Amino acid sequence: DAGVIQSPRHEVTEMGQEVTLRCKPISGHNSLFWYRQTMMRGLELLIYFNNNVPIDDSGMPEDRFSAKMPNASFSTLKIQPSEPRDSAVYFCASSFGDSNYGYTFGSGTRLTVV
């Protein structure tokens, strides 16, 4: 099992540019979560999907952020336009069922917006 795969591992972009983060969950997992981690705010849940359907996006900071899950094996988190305060590590996690089994996290994408 390859685990949760995120790409890219690192992204440096200029303010105003569009950024797309990608996640491939573990095969068979039907829930997917996007988290953001910063020193100031800790680990924040941005959005989560169940069976490819967004269930709770209340953590998405603002309209510049959007997430999609077109199929069970792929999800994207897009920031357009990006701002320096978006700099953080973005983690994707997946689980089977209703979280009883805990999450499996990806290695994260470290985003730096300059």
Binding site for other proteins (CB under 8 A): 31, 33, 42-43, 45, 48, 50, 55-56, 91, 93, 98-108
**How far apart are CB 106 and other proteins at their closest, in Å?**
6
1 three-state secondary structure? coil
85 three-state secondary structure? helix
Nearer to other proteins, 15 or 72 (CB): 72
Any idea which residue has 């795969």 for tokens?
5
Nearer to other proteins, 25 or 106 (CB): 106
Q: Is 19:66 a contact under the CB 8 Å cutoff? A: no
Nearer to other proteins, 31 or 82 (CB): 31
**How far apart are CB 82 and other proteins at their closest, in Å?**
22
What is the rounded end-to-end Cα distance, in angstroms, of the chain? 36
